[in-house]
Every structure is written in C-alpha cells, then in structure tokens.
Amino acid sequence: MVFKNKKFFSFLIFFYFFFNIEGSAQDTPRSFADLAERLMPSVVNISTTTTVTTQVNPFPFEFPPGSPFEDMFKEFGTPQKRKTSALGSGFIISEKGIVITNNHVIQGAEDILVRVNGDKEFKAKVIGADPGMDLAVLQMQTNEKFKPVKFGDSDKARIGDWVIAIGNPFGLGGTVTSGIISARNRSIGLSRYEDFIQTDASINQGNSGGPLFNMDGDVVGINTAILGQSGSIGIGFAIPSNSAKRVINQLIEFGETKRGWLGVRIQYVTKEIAEIEKLDKPRGALVASVADNSPSDDAGIKPGDIILEFDGNLINEMNELPKIVASTDVGKKVKVKIWRNQRELTKNIVLGRLETSSDFKPQEKTIQKAKESKIEALKIDVRLLDKKDITDRKLPKGTTGVVITKIEEGSPISFLQTNNIIVEVQKRKINTIGDLNNIINKTLRSSEKTLLIAIYNNQNQRRYIGVKLD
C-alpha cells in the first residue's frame, strides 16, 4: 500500500505514537487524590501515655559523666513520677475496630487513644503484641462500625511499583506521601525475622505502624523504621504484609505468637568455610551450636552441619532460615537436608515452639587467669580451659579447649576477642594447647593452609570461622 498523501501519512504516525505514549504512561498515576480519599478513613493516629520515674537532683550543680561522685550523689535525688506521651500510626482491618500498629508504638503504654478521621477518639486495649516482628493488635473500645482496609499480596510487589504511605508524622495526622518500592528483602539488624520492603515514600517519626498501600488500595507493608534519626532521607522500611498476616492472625486468635523452633544457633557460610567443607559455593546456614533436648538435638543435627533445605525450601542465605522456621506450624514434621562430611543427608525434625523453648541465653562471666602459651602461627596467647570456666560460663559438660588471652596486631583472627574459647580446629576437639599447635602445623604443611575453627564467643554462642594462614 502506497500513501500518496504525505500529510495524511504523517498524521497517522502522530496518531499512533501519541496513543501509544498515552497508553504506556497509564502506570504513572496523574493523581493519588481518589485513592487517598478512599483510604484515609481507615488510617488512624495513635497516642499513648506512660508513667516514668526520674531522680531529681537536689543540688544546683551536676558532675560530669564518668565522675566518681556522679553515682554517689544520685542517691540523694528525689524520685518523681511524670507522664510521657508518644505518637504513632495504625490502620483498621475490621469493621469492629481492630487496629494494627507497631509494638514499639504501644509498648509499656498505660493508656492508648486511637483517633479516627482526625476527630473521633476511642480508648483501645492491646489484644496481643509481638516484639520479635514489632507488631501489635489493638481493639478500640466502642460499638461503632469502621471502614477497614485489606491486606494485599506483598510477594507480588515489585521493585519500582508505586506505593503511598498514610500516617501521623510528628503528630501531623492524615499525611499522605508517595514513592516507589526501592528494594526487597532488606535486613537492618532490628530482629531475626527481617525481610523489609524498602521505599522512598517519605516516612518520619510518627509514621510507625502506618500502612504502605499499593495502587489497588491494599496494604502491602507496615511502616516500621527509617534510616537515620534526623528524619526522612528517602530510605524507609516496612514489614511485608505476607510476613505480618500470620503473626497478626495468631495475635487475634491466641493473644500471642506460636513460632516454630529448631533449637540451633546458625551463622553465614563464608567462602572459606564452603571451600573447607567442599561445598560447591557459599550457601545454606551453618549450625554453630545445638540446644540440649531441642528438636534438632533429638533429630541428630550436630554443630558443623550446614542446613541446605528446610521443608522443601532451599536455603541460599543464612538469614532465610529463621523466617521460614518461624512461619512453620509448631509440631509439624519436616524434612531438613544438611551437608555433613562432604555429603548430603536428610533429617526428619518435629518442630518445637520458640516461645516456650529454653533457647540460648547469653552469660557474661569473668575468666580466671592461668598459665598462658603463645600460638605463633595465629599471633595469639592462650590458656587451657578449666572446670571453673565451664561452670561460670555454663558451657556444656565435657567442653574442652583453650581461652584466648591476647591477640597481637596482624593476627589472622584479629576479628575475635580475648576470652573467646577455641574448642575445635578442622573439626577435631582441642583437649590441650599441644593439640592446637599440632593441627595448625599440619595445616601449614598442607597445600590448602585454611583452618576451620569452632569457638565460643563472649556471649557463649558457638561459632565457626574460616581462617587463611600465610
């Protein structure tokens, strides 16, 4: 077909491109007004009051911090009680007035007030709270009906998707901000169950507990933290809705959480450890220690095992395992694939409940001095572990090893601390200082020159480290 009319042909091209551009731009909202108007009645402001006791200094002066007189003169202070208040956000998930917020918003609160639509205030009580995931469920004390919002599928939320946050920053209720999902599966060191959604939607103090909505008006995240203390810098973090829903449902039903429990301490599989264990690449979760009489102990899991798969879920990174275990039903029998002695094994484990477990508790104790010896290859001084160490630090019976008393500059294990205890090298128990020297010397004569060392740190947590020797 040949167009003889060039003007008509040009018009067709313009028409085609104009409407295609218009169509491709439809994903970019012209306005959030309609969405915000629909959602704002479901977002609430939360204020709390707490009584705190302080010591009032009777003297017209203060001693500088660290002064030997500081604590002495504190004793002469007069205790005084005063009320403190805090602000946060939340959202309604039931017409009966059930509200979701962060645990840190209401923790320790004596009185909780929930403000709806900027004017109506209702007292609220805590149905249940979970410090582990920083979630709390409140019930407003009223018979009124409310407009709830629903949870969306956070797994379908993609990096680059538009989101809006509605909350109560700095007490300025009914504030709407917009942005995109900047990243997924972020961990910032707040808890063991982190897989935050990162967003550049402006989040500030007072936004905590508020919802992060997708463009369908569904909650895909619960705003929890920001990077920095001075205010929003475009890096905020929200708990994914799919992670929160299970916890919220348990809090509503039981008033508490029921998380699965393996009974192991785990750590990352480093490149060095993968190399020593003949694993194809760094992956899985390395078992540093196993709690006595725990599900893992009963199933035969041992320190040094690498958990590769849990209940059909591949474990690529160590921090994936706690989240998966916690979301698995208590009492469920699961298959766990491990790597031990350069081959794959399968163990059947019946999960316990974390909240009723005797999980590991750190113990800080002073180490008694004894005769010390130098380990030249590691540039450290050590002494033999004794019975008092085992008793004072509540170590497992029969523990043997050496205590690090000094770490020289340039040591290949300079990242460790004095009072750490070396209990194994190359998966061989250390009974004497001579054992340690013999294993190191044998490794130095080998071609690999890499050590796998098992230690107890100063919190009495068992850990493995991989060390390259010169």
Task: Tell me which residues are annotated as active site.
Answer: 104, 134, 208
Tell me the torsion sign for CA atoms 410, 412, 415, 420.
Answer: negative
Q: Which residues lie across from 181 on neighbouring strands?
A: 199
In a 10 Å sphere around its CB, with 0-12 CB exposed, 13-18 middle and 19+ buried, how is residue 336 labelled? Answer: buried
Whether residue 252 contacts residue 127, with contact meaning beta carbons closer than 8 Å, is answered with yes
Provide the strand spans (E) within 4-131: 43-56, 78-92, 98-101, 111-116, 120-130
Whether residue 209 contacts residue 169, with contact meaning beta carbons closer than 8 Å, is answered with no
Three-state DSSP class for 444?
helix
Of 100, 21, 99, 450, the residue nearest 278 (C-alpha): 450
Kindly calculate the radius of gyration of the chain based on its CA atoms and give it in whole angstroms.
29
Taking phi first (over 0 means left), then psi (-120 to 50 degrees means alpha), and beta for anything else, what does residue 156 get?
alpha
CA–CA distance, 142 with 335 (Å, rounded to integer) = 47
Phi, psi of 38 (to 5 degrees): -70, -35
Of 380, 379, 347, 362, the residue nearest 459 (C-alpha): 362
Phi, psi of 97 (to 5 degrees): 90, 30
Whether residue 169 contacts residue 105, with contact meaning beta carbons closer than 8 Å, is answered with no
Buried b (16+ CB within 10 A) or exposed e, 152-189: bebeebeeebbbbbbbbbeeebbbbbbbebbeeebeee
The pair of structure tokens assigned to 347 is 């163990």
